[in-house]
Amino acid sequence: MELRHLRYFAAVADTRHFGRAAEQLHMAQPPLSQAIRRLETELGVALFARTTRQVDLTGAGEVFHADVRRILAAVDDAVVRVERFTAGVAGVLRIGLTGSAAYRRLPALARLVKSALPGVTLEVHTELLTPAQEAGLLDRRLDVGVLRPPVRREGIIHRALADEPLVLAVPEEHWLGDAESVRLAQLRQEDFIMYGAALGSVVDEVVIRGCLEAGFRPRRAHEVAETSTALALVAAGLGVAVLPDSIRAARREGVVCKEITDAPSVGLVLAWRADDSSPLLRNLLETLEKDGTFITPENPDGARHENHQDRDDSLCDSLSKATQIRQR
């Protein structure tokens, strides 16, 4: 049984007329009649009751007609879906983000994808440090990553999104809580909340380097795997944390953020596999390019939405409608 025979049958069943069905199918009537006969022979049942005046479905034909309509509709839907996938306007985009980047970047990215590529679903994996994202990209568990450079593994391409200053997160009641800004040297006696040493955090490397240049090594009092946990421990008064400026978007109760006048900055890039030629990735990169998301000589500040915090916050409530979030 061929798919075209089902379409022949459906046309005759819908029109109840071999001549009109043949016109609809752009074919001659005799071959259509022969095809229906072969279909009936294959099924071993009469599908049509024919008279000189009319063509009606038999009981078996009625049952077959209902199933054929569902089959043809499913086939047509499948064709549309694969065409949209091939065009890069439908499918699932698996994206990884560092914990701090998720606070500000995720709403802006979700808004952009929803607007420019409404047929694309984001599968989001947050709280992934750079080594984990590199592994996820190369293992094909992620399609793109928003991570902190440097990217050390081969086979990954990246483009700059931002260069973020580091800020100090302290409990509200901390002795630096009322300061307008601080210097790294003032943190010499503080307990630091940092990412686990084995996790390979780029932010930790930058923080340690900055503190050494200020004349001390930070005292690693608590280790965490997630930025959200680091902020929770700060709120609990267990130490301070030096993190990228984007954590300000988290607005954690009990935590205040202070500018560090002599702190180094840390980069943020969008990364993807060098061998990924998918139309969806191509469309995403073109969309980000047009939106001015990447740092270029003409756009040295990177993403246009970096400072539009009020807009990003309003998007958080509707984010689940545009994405499927998988926390990690």
Phi and psi for 298 in degrees, rounded to 5?
A: -80, -20
Percent pLDDT > 70 in the chain is: 90
Per-residue pLDDT at 27 exceeds 60 = yes
* Dihedral-angle region of residue 123 (phi above 0 means left; psi in -120 to 50 means alpha; beta otherwise): beta
* Dihedral-angle region of residue 200 (phi above 0 means left; psi in -120 to 50 means alpha; beta otherwise): left
Measure the CA–CA gap between 170 and 322, rounded to whole angstroms.
Answer: 33
In CATH, the number for domain 87-328 is 3.40.190.290
List CB contacts of 132: < 8 A, sequence separation 6 or more: 96, 199
Residue-wise pLDDT for 33-72, tens only, equals: 999 999 999 999 999 998 877 899 999 999 999 999 999 9
Measure the CA–CA gap between 321 and 319, rounded to whole angstroms.
Answer: 5
Q: Residue 314: pLDDT band by 50, 70, 90 thresholds?
A: very low
Per-residue pLDDT at 143 exceeds 60 = yes
- The more confident residue out of 216 and 317 is 216
Domain boundaries, the chain: 3-86, 87-328
Q: What is the mean pLDDT of the chain?
A: 88
- Looking at residues 295-314, what average pLDDT do you find? 53
pLDDT, position 303:
55
Q: Residue 298: pLDDT band by 50, 70, 90 thresholds?
A: low
Are the beta carbons of 58 and 47 closer than 8 angstroms? Answer: yes
Q: How far is CA 265 from the centre of its chain?
A: 26
| Model-wide pTM > 0.75 | no
* CATH architecture of the domain formed by 3-86: Orthogonal Bundle (1.10)
- The more confident residue out of 40 and 326 is 40
Q: Which of 15-19, 50-54, 146-150, 215-219 has the lowest mean pLDDT?
A: 50-54
Per-residue pLDDT at 309 exceeds 50 = no
Q: Residue 302: pLDDT band by 50, 70, 90 thresholds?
A: low
Percent pLDDT > 90 in the chain is: 75
Measure the CA–CA gap between 26 and 19, rounded to whole angstroms.
Answer: 11
Measure the CA–CA gap between 143 and 137, rounded to whole angstroms.
Answer: 6
Per-residue pLDDT at 328 exceeds 80 = no
pLDDT, position 67:
95
> Could you tell me where the DSSP H helices lie in the chain?
3-15, 18-25, 29-43, 59-86, 99-116, 130-138, 202-213, 227-235, 279-291, 309-316, 319-322
